[in-house]
Structure 1
Amino acid sequence: MKCFSFSNGEKKDEPKDNPVESLRRTSFPSFSQRSSNLRVFTVSELKSVTRNFSRSVMIGEGGFGCVYKGVIKSAEDPSTKIEVAVKQLGKRGMQGHKEWVTEVNVLGVVEHPNLVKLVGYCAEDDERGIQRLLIYEYMPNRSVEHHLSTWAETPLSWAMRLKVA
């Protein structure tokens, strides 16, 4: 029985194109046929949006890393602005590149009114090292975790929790 795959140290020839697309083809074959409307951002664009990742615009922190609030121009109508949440993969985060790619692959093609919309992503290297960021539409009413937790001002009733589930 083969439970784990081991490498002999040789690297397979990997496509040199977009890291998200290459993983989508190999890890998520059902998603490879779907198109993604995700925007690709640069680190410099996201630094501008988040005031150079300032703590003054930080709205949260979790296993992935820090989350910052910002405003970007709409891709459809540049005169329209969209509030966004920018998740930055932390160097000491509990999640890594593989989880980042999974989020891009899944949320990049799945749309549902009860899911936060993934607007785009950033995958590049700069003076800070490897940068992996996710850009979501901003949720003004906080997270589901906040509303379900006992420390929320008015936690959701059990009936409402069942409806959410």
Structure 2
Amino acid sequence: MNNSSLDRHIYDKIIGPLLDWSKRHKIIKGVIEGLVYLQKGSMLWIVHRDLKPNNILLDDNMEPKISDFGSARTLSSDVAEECTNRVVGTSGYKAPEYASRGIYSLKTDVFSFGILVLVIISGRKNTILHKRGDTVGDLVRDAWHIWKNQRLHELVDPALGSGYEIAEITRCTQVALLCAQEDPADRPTMTDVAAMLNSESMSLPVEPKQPTALSKECAGEDVASADMGQTSRTIDITITSSAPMSTRVRIILDPED
């Protein structure tokens, strides 16, 4: 694909600004079409299990193509669940039930799609704070608080400037949060997602549930994302040398002006 993969466009500071909101919105809808086909349109029920920006390729017209099916599995029906001892995929995109227990279903890719949409909107990565009992990631938690407080402009990738429709951002964010809920039973199907994002007049049926709060234990062992959508972060680092003493350093990363 001449335009490489989606992650290159999102995270590259030079070509990233060229990926305006209309292109990002088009990519979101294109990925939906691909997933609906995998789950409903083909003769099989296919779970990709590693949906992420690296595996979304872009053609000459910036149309997305889902790639890399080396981890994909088929199911016996659209409501079936399977279990594996070999969990594959990428941290930050794996559904909680799959990451912790190896259970996968069509709702596994729905979760990954939700994360993908939040990444496309924000230009951020989703970090899982494992030692604090995190199941969904800092991007999901920040996005939920920002959405709940109706401050969606704080979530939007700065590279987009003001070139976006806040109504489209709001709808896409709410749908993404519905997809990224911890309980697979709470997530919509991809057919439902397509209906919600293709019809602006359609009211969204429910509100996404608030992600589970992080554990306070081992709070200094992971990279901590600030709450309420702020971009400043605190990082605790333990530096150990051959001396019998270790040094603990706290670094505050302030948001850019």
Decide which structure has greater strand share.
Answer: 1
Same fold (TM over 0.5): no
Per chain length, whose mean CA-contact separation is higher, i.e. which structure has more relative contact order (CA < 8 Å, sep 6+)? Answer: 1
> What TM-score do the two structures reach when normalised by structure 2?
0.22
